Structure 1
Amino acid sequence: MSKRFPRITINPDQMGGAPCIRGLRIPVATIVKLLAAGMTEDQILQDYPDLERDDIREALAFAAEAVNERQLPLVESTS
Structure 2
Amino acid sequence: MDYYAHISINPEVRFGRPCITGTRISVADVLGWLGHGQTIAEIQEDFPELTQHQIQACLLYAADRERYLRIAG
| Normalised TM-score (structure 2) | 0.88
* Aligned pairs, number: 71
Q: Aligned partners of 1:54 and 1:37: how far apart in 2? A: 20
Match of 1:76 in 2: none
Unaligned runs of 5+ in 1: 74-79
Q: Aligned partners of 1:57 and 1:50: how far apart in 2? A: 14
Larger Rg: 1
Superposed CA RMSD:
1.5
Structure 1's consecutive aligned runs of 4 or more residues displaced over 6 angstroms after TM superposition are none
Say which structure is richer in helix: 2
Match of 1:53 in 2: 52
Unaligned runs of 5+ in 2: none
Q: Name the % identity.
A: 34
Q: Which has the higher contact order (CA 8 A, sep 6+)?
A: 2
| Normalised TM-score (structure 1) | 0.82
